[in-house]
Chains A and B, each alone.
Chain A
Amino acid sequence: MTQTSTKPDAATGADAAAQPWSPRIVAFVCNWCTYAGADLAGTSRLQYAPNVRIIKLPCTGRIDPLFILKAFEQGADAVLVSGCHPGDCHYTAGNYHARRRWGLFRRLMEFTGIDAKRLFFSWVSAAEGQKFADLINAVTDEVRQAGPFDPTNPARKRPWT
């Protein structure tokens, strides 16, 4: 657990401007389950796509929809939100609160023109290193299929004029 170099976020910079497009995915994960799951994937030397930038928060209950908007605004092609399975929340109910919020927010995103194919939600426990690696690979593949997020989408920041 101490080998920070295996952390998935060491993969930032994988797609410099000159290189062909590769999905840029922002993952908001909770400290106690999914982040630990990602860590396990790393220490277990599991291979997975380097397209995800992980942002660790105490709990999925702390993930404000504004984080998701900000990620799309700043150039993410997709966003993944992941935390503890129901019943496993370190703070008892943070993930239940988050689940309800996402249930509504994802509808609003779709309705205002962000394709549902760019928003992912998952439960990954600290023991599920393999699930994390498989999830990232699957998400990366799906986003690759969907292509880059439209730079003219209203959610996306455009160059200042």
Chain B
Amino acid sequence: MDLAKLRQDAAALLADGRAGLVIGFRERAGACVPAFVTDADQADALVYDDTCIANLAAYLRKPEIRQRRPVALVARPHVMRSLILLKAEHQLQGDDVLVLAVGDDTYHGVLTLAEAERLLNETYADLATDAQVLAEIERLEQMSPEERARFWSEQFAKCTRCYACRAACPMCYCERCIVEKNVPQWISTAAAGHGNYAWNVIRAFHLAGRCIECGACEAACPQGIPLMLLNALLAREARDQFDARPGYDAEAEPVVGSWNKDDDEGFIR
């Protein structure tokens, strides 16, 4: 990948004022962490590799970041999908964001959102669910409901309710999350038992048909809860049942929130 070109582009965007902020990645003690570049001469700190999993689109909900629009983001294809989906959900205007597009060992240059959408559909139209995640979903589906309940019981028991999963997700942009509403209180606040079950299930469900499977939530979870199993299951169902392809069409209606007369109702008596 042409890192030098990426740095050069980032510097140019800042130098000529096309971007007020470049968000990318830098290296710190052997790990890749988000970088916030405001001056052209800092652009050389930018790096990119496969370990840069954080979905930088999540930063676009922060008011202090939005103040610096247009913002340029280093974005792999999944992150580009997040941006397209944010636009489809009216969270972004087309000119709020520029994309420093990276993917498959290639640097694609600086793209507008519309250009990123075209690139996605031309080059990255078939981003598949991680094979390991799919295999694990299938393994769980072979289990009895009791075994699955036990599996999730153990997983959710780890949850401390730090909400790192929510924070890391660009699609979790609600100003007040359902889990923080207490009149009425739908989800128990205790970081245990039924509260943890309800939180993790509802978090996943609120992303049904919206998750683009970037993996940022699972990577963010300090406790190692396999959140992508839930997300990928719903992504698969949304795809199989409703042909959902979130993040490929900035004009698309939300999957849950629209309907089709011919939707499956074999399960309804």
Which residues of A does B touch, CB under 8 Å? 65-66, 69-70, 73, 86, 93, 96-97, 99-116, 120-123, 135, 150, 152-158
Contact = CB atoms under 8 A, between A and B. Distances in A.
A99 B264 CA distance: 8
B238 interface: yes
Nearest to A61: B259
A69 B198 contact: yes
Interface of B: 137, 140-141, 145-146, 148-153, 156, 178, 186-188, 193-194, 196-198, 201-202, 204-205, 208-209, 229-230, 233-234, 237-238, 241-242, 255-261, 263-265, 267-269
Contacts of A70: 186
Given A66-B202, A69-B186, A113-B152, 7 more contacts: A66-B178, A73-B198, A97-B259, A103-B241, A104-B234, A116-B145, A150-B146
A104 B230 contact: no
Chain A interface, >50% SS class: helix
Contacts of A122: 268-269
B148 A66 contact: no
B149 A150 contact: yes
B256 A106 contact: no
Contacts, number: 128
Contacts of B269: 120-123, 135
Contact of A154 (B178, B196, B208, B255): B196
Pick from B202, B260, B267, B268 the residue with the most CB of A within 10 Å.
B268
6 contacts: A96-B261, A97-B257, A100-B242, A113-B151, A154-B153, A157-B188
B140 A111 contact: yes
Nearest to A73: B194
Contacts of B153: 113, 152-154
Highest count of chain A CB atoms <10 Å: which of B178, B186, B197, B263: B197
B205 A121 contact: no
Given A97-B259, A153-B149, A112 B230 contact: yes
